[in-house]
Amino acid sequence: MIVLGKKRPFNGQLNPLHSFHVLATPPASPCAGDSTLWTPHDGLPIDISATSGAPAQVSASPDGHNPKTPPPDLPSLLLDSRICYLGMPLVPAVTELIIGELLYLQYRDTVKPIYMYINSSGTTRADGETVGFETEGTAIFDTMCYVKNEVQTVGVGVAIGQSCMLLSAGARGKRFMLPHATAMLHQPRVPPTGQRQAIEIQIKWREVLAQKQALLNILHHTTGHSMEKLDKDMQRPLYMQPADALEYGIVDHIVKSEKDVGGAMIDEVKSGSQWDKEAGLVSRPVPS
């Protein structure tokens, strides 16, 4: 029998914020006398809000390992395998994350390579609207040159503008592209300036021109083309399929399987027991 501690007129609506106290008494049923069935004592208040949740469940992984702690999030797993995944437009928050990952991986090991997977529309959105500064790309490029590790780049989706430049900036012979990925080069784009004085527009024009020269200089070293050719090709968006990017010098290989690169483009992946060990967990036999 369940008795409500306090009666209130029912108006047809339930307020989830209200927490009722319930007095539970053993039900008058044949099971009530069973010593294996636990029931609350008479008059014991039970908070419904504290007992309404579903019980926690632990599911086994395909390899039979039952994690004793919550598994790491996906970015942590990728980072532990020395993968930096650039999967968003280049805005300050994304640049901060990529630079932090590069510096951290160098701190962890100065010999092992770093794998940068690129699927980014650069400093613009897919519709061409400018969302970031051109210096976001050069900041990542400078960090790639600063770290001692070899940085291998992999184009997995689109690499547009500054992201295409980063794809070409990988270690020579270690720049890859998947069969259906796309690369595109274009001139630096300026966000709307609004109402400004003529001198301010002229100053901004000089800054954009300097950024364009910096981009052309980087591509000159990564692709081997002259700055005049690059400038002419970038007058309009230059789309490149994998074969075109390979011929243009953006990448070195088109990857269809691990055999094409002579190995995996990822560092060693830890097992479940290794994660538990590094987390400080010790397995003990269950007492019989």
Structural domains of the chain, with CATH: 17-50 (no CATH), 74-260 (3.90.226.10)
Q: What is the pLDDT of residue 37?
A: 44
CA distance 156 to 183: 10
Element containing residue 155 per DSSP (H, E): strand 151-160
Q: Is 267 left (phi over 0), alpha (psi -120 to 50) or beta?
A: beta
Angle at CA of residue 266, ends 138 and 263, nearest 5°: 115
**Parts of the chain with a pLDDT under 50:** 1-3, 5, 7, 10, 16-27, 29-40, 46-59
pTM reported for the whole predicted model? 0.70
Q: What is the pLDDT of residue 267?
A: 67
SS3 of 213-234 = HHHHHHHHHHHCCCHHHHHHHC
Q: Output 220-227 pairs: Cβ under 8 A, ≥24 positions apart.
A: 222/165, 222/168, 222/169, 222/249, 222/250, 223/168, 223/248, 223/249, 223/250, 224/249, 225/249
Q: What is the pLDDT of residue 29?
A: 47
CA distance 171 to 149: 10
Q: What is the pLDDT of residue 260?
A: 65
Q: What is the pLDDT of residue 74?
A: 83
Q: What is the pLDDT of residue 181?
A: 96
- Hey, how many other C-beta atoms are within 10 angstroms of the C-beta on 249? 14
Element containing residue 164 per DSSP (H, E): helix 162-168
Q: What is the pLDDT of residue 205?
A: 86
Give the pair of three-digit tokens for residue 212.
């364009």
Which residues have CB under 8 Å from 59's CB, separation 6+? none
Query: At 159, phi and psi to the nearest 5?
Result: -135, 100
**Which residues lie across from 124 on neighbouring strands?**
130
